[in-house]
Amino acid sequence: EKFEDNVFQIFDHILLFENHQQADVIDILRRYSAARHPIPQSTIFALEHVVDIPEFSNKVLEVFENMIKNKQIVSDKILYIFVDILYLSDNEQLRKKSFQLLDTANDNQDISDEIFDILELERAALNINSRSVDS
């Protein structure tokens, strides 16, 4: 079920002003976005405000993953988090998922030249690796 605008205003307030219910709001938004409902721009901004808080970052990133899969536009700040995961994670599956999300974001929106170059460099590396495995 789609939420009314005033519900998002309440969510924004909770996310921005460090209310003790932030974790609950993030869980609600995670489920809401997983159901392919769009997140309003003001709430996207509020989520960006809490993405750097360690206890929330993974679940907030899940909301942004859902948004990218739903073809919503996300900021460079969020895309750079996925770039960092792509380059810095030891987890092969996380890196692969980050590449796929960045690739999808590139299809959905204009991404910065820097992120585009990183994405294309990674794509070339994957092609080279797959050819060397095939030989």
Q: How far is CA 54 from CA 41, 44, 101, 109, in A?
A: 23, 18, 21, 28
- The pTM assigned to this predicted structure is 0.90
C-alpha to C-alpha distance for 68 and 90, rounded to whole angstroms: 23
pLDDT in tens, 65-76: 999 999 999 999
- Average pLDDT, whole number, for the chain? 94
Residue 127's pLDDT band (boundaries 50, 70, 90)? confident
Could you tell me which residues come within 8 angstroms of residue 68 by beta carbon, excluding any fewer than 6 positions away?
74, 101, 104, 105, 108
pLDDT in tens, 54-101: 999 999 999 999 999 999 999 999 999 999 999 999 999 999 999 999
